[in-house]
Structure 1
Amino acid sequence: MSWLAGQNPAEMTELSDGEPDALRSFCTVRISRLRRQLVSKQAGGAKSRKPQHGFTAQKLETSDWNCIVPGRLINRIRLKNIRETVKQVTEAQIHKSSVCPDCQKKEAELAKIAFLRRMKILMESALIQEKLEEQVYSSDVLTRIGEALGSFPKPSEDPRNLWQRLKGQTM
């Protein structure tokens, strides 16, 4: 049974008391179960066979597993699996991005992109601020009044042209 936990059958010398009996009974039950399945498959083609004494195949399978393997053996296998997992975790190499050249290149690219975004935002905000200041300085109240008065008719204009121009500008 210990070869199921990652050991080969040649390393099975460390079985404790009761383990060979449990292993033998487990193997016996498995072999008998496989034989029953093989016989039922072979007999299934010729005739349908009813289970004897009202037992179903499902009941036999679940009852086979209930009291076969002792708890000590299961705990020993679990302990071996935990030890093997811890061994694999400790042997695994941890990736250090500060040393990896690919990670450093990617980090440099991301920093460059972030820098360019910040600079773009700063330039756009400076441009907008400049346009606002230009608008404030170039279009004060007197300039706006002058622009509005420039579209009014002058007293020196011919009144007929004035009426023609006003007819063309329907409101």
Structure 2
Amino acid sequence: MDFYKEDKLLHSGFTALEKGNVDIQVLACFVPSQVPFGRRFHTVLEMIDIFYQKVASDKFRPIFTKGDLAECVLKGQKGAILFVEGAHALEESLVQLRTWFRLGVRGMTLTWNHGNALASGNHSRNLTDEQIRALIANDGANRLDVCRLLYRIGEAQGLDR
């Protein structure tokens, strides 16, 4: 597959983005739930590597900041925001979350069909109050707004802080 040539196997290749006048595209790294624990993080790393090796270019640049986004829009350039679909790929590690962030990932959904350590598709909780407090207290995560998100999850679940 070639991102820059028309290819029906691609959901949104460069030519399709041009035809649709799409300037900014969110590119999702999705790890199917059947990928075993211990391989999920690495699978996302492989997808990020493919993005930088075969997709990112002067024509389609990675967007890391609000400034990058504004610049792309103002200059009429095309850009990509990397996203991970489902916190299951974190394999319960904030180190892995920070690694993705350093590599350019700027968003992540909490679930994708199946529950994980952070969230579930129903009203049950997957983390204990103590686990949520420990994650909230993790200073390294503060820079990524993970703590605020987990705090909100705790508020929504009526946790005693």
State TM-score, norm by structure 2.
0.21
Structure having the higher helix fraction is: 1
Structure having the higher strand fraction is: 2
Q: Which has the larger radius of gyration?
A: 1
